[in-house]
């Protein structure tokens, strides 16, 4: 009996390690997905790019739902609350990817790291959560650092960077709204509703705006992006189901150096000094919120 606490601590550490590795794997797959769809988007309308990848991604989700035997619960995808979350995800996906097509990958990813700051503000506004003043300081500092990253009007990226910030707001609202979706709705069904909504929107806008012929390489890139996207979602679920969220969640910030490395290797782009400093401050503010949330 005396060995039980030690065994529990060892299992706890293994779970945290498992979750951290899964999170790092998910981040790597998401960054590759972003890079592939960014490369495929050159010369193509944004809606067509998103719609084609969406068709592939939805197919993967359908296969996953079938393998899990969840078709009897597929009707939950039409629940108004599930559809509401899917609509927010459509807004997040389109605004993020349209911005990504016009700005460096590292910049888009850095702005996305403000999501925890926005979620804290939204949790106070909509969930009436009480937040200590130190966490508010971290939020203010984090948002101030966004100005160093976005730098409105600089190098023509200001407007697109602000659109990326809007995408992050959509994402934060979506995450808060997820609490409204009944717990009985399986995660895969929520994912199916989201993938289908993004695909239908992309296909509809493509039908309205007109189809642009695609090269074989673009088809391959979008198919590959859908594979990496599906793998990333799977590893993200694994990460969140192993270890402490406050510990595993901190590894999300590995996406910043990963995106900077990918941007340098593929496009020869590196963030400038002020942007790097702003990214570091955003990461610091986010990690503080994780740590203080864990203590609370």
Domain boundaries, the chain: 4-295
pLDDT tops 80 at residue 168:
yes
Q: Count the helices and strands in the chain (H runs, E runs).
A: 12, 0
Secondary structure E strands in the chain: none
Residue 294: the pLDDT is 53
Quick: pLDDT tens for 216-252. Answer: 999 999 999 999 998 888 888 777 666 666 677 677 8
pLDDT at 206 exceeding the cut of 80:
yes
CA distance 21 to 18: 5
The DSSP line for 98-136 is: HHHTTS-HHHHHHHHTTHHHHHHHHHHHHH-----HHHH
Please say whether the beta carbons of 242 and 252 come within 8 A: no
In this prediction the pTM is 0.84
User: pLDDT tens, 43-61?
Assistant: 999 999 999 999 999 999 9
Q: What is the pLDDT of residue 246?
A: 60
End-to-end CA distance of the chain: 30
The structure tokens 């084609």 sit at 52
Average pLDDT over residues 110-119: 84
CB 96 within 8 A of CB 108: yes
Assigned token pair, 280: 């570091």
276 CB contacts (<8 Å, ≥6 apart)?
none
**pLDDT at residue 138, as a whole number:** 81
SS3 106: helix
Taking the CA atoms of 248, 250, 256 and 257 in sequence, report the sign of the dihedral they define.
negative
200 and 83 Cβ atoms separated by less than 8 Å: no
- List the structure tokens of 263: 């941007």
pLDDT value of residue 278: 81
To the nearest 10 degrees (0 to 180), the angle between helices 273-295 and 105-112 is: 30
């Amino acid at each position: 009996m005396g060995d039980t606490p030690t065994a529990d601590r060892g299992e706890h550490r293994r779970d945290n390690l498992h979750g951290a590795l899964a999170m790092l794997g998910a981040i790597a797959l998401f960054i590759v997905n972003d890079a592939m769809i960014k490369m495929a988007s050159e010369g193509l309308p944004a809606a067509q790019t998103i719609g084609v990848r969406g068709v592939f991604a939805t197919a993967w989700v359908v296969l996953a739902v079938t393998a899990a035997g969840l078709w009897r619960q597929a009707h939950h995808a039409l629940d108004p609350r599930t559809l509401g979350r899917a609509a927010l995800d459509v807004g997040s996906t389109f605004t993020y990817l349209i911005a990504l097509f016009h700005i460096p990958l590292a910049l888009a990813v850095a702005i996305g790291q403000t999501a925890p700051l926005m979620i804290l503000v939204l949790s106070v506004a909509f969930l009436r959560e009480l937040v200590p003043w130190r966490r508010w300081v971290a939020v203010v500092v984090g948002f101030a650092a966004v100005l160093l990253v976005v730098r409105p009007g600089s190098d023509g990226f200001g407007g697109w960077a602000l659109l990326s910030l809007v995408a992050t707001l959509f994402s934060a609202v979506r995450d808060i709204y997820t609490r409204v979706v009944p717990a009985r709705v399986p995660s895969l069904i929520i994912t199916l509703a989201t993938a289908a909504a993004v695909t239908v929107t992309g296909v509809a806008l493509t039908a309205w705006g007109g189809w642009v012929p695609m090269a074989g390489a673009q088809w391959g890139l979008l198919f590959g992006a859908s594979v990496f996207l599906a793998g990333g979602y799977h590893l993200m679920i694994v990460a969140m189901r192993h270890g402490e969220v406050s510990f595993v969640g901190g590894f999300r910030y590995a996406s910043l150096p990963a995106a900077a490395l990918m941007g340098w290797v593929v496009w020869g782009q590196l963030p400038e000094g002020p942007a790097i400093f702003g990214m570091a401050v955003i990461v610091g503010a986010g990690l503080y919120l994780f740590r203080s949330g864990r203590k609370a």
